[in-house]
């Protein structure tokens, strides 16, 4: 699945192996970047009139300047993602090596991770199908809207423009899928480590409930120094993997979040314009616009949901290690106690999280912030153009 996503990125123009390609391949990619910049600039210039919304019974048209700026941001987003793929190719190699080594290690050592990874593949396939349907519906919406409103101006060139526009939007969508996949993989790594820690805690609680004679008869060691060292090594590797992911994708994630917010604002704005102006013949396209609105929201927030799962699992690991340490603290002379103290300190000092910046972490707390800002921009845009 990971290698399939890498191939899909390359098809969409995101070459994360740029630094390690031959001179001819690099020249071809640079030529493609320049050609795409010229193409999207021309398409944006040629298609600005599609955002002129006619008022019923009048030749007057509303020209939403903010809407045009946001439309340009969609094109800019796809182009910037391609540039970031080239610029961060060395950082990506370090991250990809780290996450794949963790994947193969957990796959060979843990049956729990092996079972969950199968479920994870199905989840990623569903996410890819969801985004593919979204792209198809957006293409049909743009094409049918043109046919319905201005059939006399339909040309083959228009469909080429729409295809290029959807192609660039697909790049942005694919990045959301890729980021969701990587963050969710780290989540399952954490869940596997937490499962082994929780198993020890449960086994210790079960043994403590038995009588002294029964415990003496069992005479089995629940927790070993080897287990503690393994947990510490895996946790450090996960922390390092998250830092490499943040170094490679942090700027791009912030930009993708901004572009997704733009899609949210433009979708809400368009629907409100149709409803408030009272263009009843556009009811079909307003209903499709509702789907596009829902799609725009979920395409961005898949990554935020994955980041919140990561934070939740990190909190569970902290609780499990703290519980284990508190139960073992009754044996201060035991060699495992010192290892547990170090592990508890490691978990608390180095949280596993995806950082946009030093102060902004990927999580659900971003949703109300984005929603409130988006609502403010929609209201300002509607008032500016005298729609409300």
Q: What is the pLDDT of residues 37-76, one digit of tens each?
A: 888 777 777 666 555 544 444 444 444 555 566 667 777 7
Q: Domain limits at 368?
A: 2-205+225-384
Lowest-confidence segment of 108-112, 297-301, 357-361, 368-372 by average pLDDT? 297-301
- Alpha helices in the chain, H assignment, sequence order: 2-11, 23-47, 65-87, 89-109, 111-149, 156-208, 212-218, 225-277, 283-328, 335-349, 366-384
Biggest CA–CA distance in the chain, Å, is 93
* Residue 219 maps to a domain: no
Segment 335-355 shows an average pLDDT of 87
* Residue 210 maps to a domain: no
Angle between helices 283-328 and 111-149 (to 10 degrees): 160
- φ, ψ for residue 168 (rounded to 5)? -70, -40
User: Structurally, how many domains does the chain consist of?
Assistant: 1
Q: What pLDDT, on the 0 to 100 scale, is given for residue 62?
A: 46
Which residue(s) pair with 377 in the sheet?
none
What lies within 8 Å, CB to CB, of 285 at 6+ separation is 141, 144, 145, 148, 274
Q: What pLDDT, on the 0 to 100 scale, is given for residue 270?
A: 65
* Residue 218 maps to a domain: no
Q: What pLDDT, on the 0 to 100 scale, is given for residue 240?
A: 92
pLDDT > 60? residue 32:
yes
* Residue 149 maps to a domain: yes
* Residue 216 maps to a domain: no
Q: What is the pTM of this model?
A: 0.81
pLDDT > 60? residue 262:
yes
Buried b (16+ CB within 10 A) or exposed e, 25-64: eeeebeeebeebeebbeebbeebeebbebeeeeeeeeeeb
**pLDDT tens string 82-118:** 888 888 888 888 888 898 888 888 888 777 777 777 7
* Residue 335 maps to a domain: yes
* Residue 213 maps to a domain: no
Q: What pLDDT, on the 0 to 100 scale, is given for residue 358?
A: 76
Residue predicted with more confidence, 293 or 325: 325
């Amino acid at each position: 699945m990971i290698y399939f996503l890498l191939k899909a990125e390359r098809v969409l123009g995101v070459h994360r192996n740029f630094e390690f390609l031959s001179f001819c391949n690099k020249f071809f990619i640079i030529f493609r970047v320049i050609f795409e910049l010229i193409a999207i600039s021309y398409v944006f210039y040629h298609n600005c009139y599609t955002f002129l919304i006619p008022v019923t019974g009048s030749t007057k048209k509303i020209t939403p300047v903010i809407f045009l700026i946001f439309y340009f941001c969609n094109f800019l987003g796809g182009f910037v993602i391609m540039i970031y793929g080239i610029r961060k190719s060395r950082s990506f190699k370090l991250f990809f090596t780290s996450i794949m080594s963790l994947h193969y290690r957990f796959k060979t050592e843990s049956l729990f991770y092996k079972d969950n990874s199968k479920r994870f593949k199905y989840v990623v396939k569903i996410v890819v199908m969801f985004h593919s349907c979204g792209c198809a519906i957006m293409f049909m919406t743009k094409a049918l809207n043109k046919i319905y409103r201005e059939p006399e101006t339909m040309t083959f060139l228009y469909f080429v423009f729409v295809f290029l526009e959807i192609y660039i939007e697909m790049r942005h969508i694919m990045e959301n899928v890729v980021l969701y996949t990587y963050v969710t993989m780290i989540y399952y790594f954490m869940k596997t480590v937490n499962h082994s820690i929780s198993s020890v805690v449960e086994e210790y609680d079960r043994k403590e409930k038995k009588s002294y004679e029964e415990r003496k008869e069992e005479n089995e060691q629940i927790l070993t120094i080897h287990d503690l060292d393994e947990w510490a090594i895996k946790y450090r590797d996960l922390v390092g993997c998250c830092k490499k992911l943040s170094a490679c994708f942090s700027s791009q994630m912030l930009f993708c979040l901004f572009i997704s917010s733009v899609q949210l604002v433009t979708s809400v704005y368009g629907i409100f314009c149709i409803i408030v102006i009272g263009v009843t013949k556009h009811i079909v396209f307003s209903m499709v616009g509702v789907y596009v609105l829902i799609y725009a929201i979920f395409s961005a927030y898949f990554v935020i949901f994955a980041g919140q799962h990561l934070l939740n699992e990190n909190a569970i690991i902290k609780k499990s290690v703290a519980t284990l340490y508190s139960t073992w603290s009754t044996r201060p002379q035991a060699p495992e106690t010192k290892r547990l103290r170090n592990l508890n300190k490691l978990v608390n000092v180095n949280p596993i999280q995806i950082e946009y910046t030093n102060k902004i972490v990927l999580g659900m707390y971003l949703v109300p912030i984005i929603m409130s800002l988006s609502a403010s921009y929609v209201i300002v845009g509607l008032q500016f153009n005298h729609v409300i």
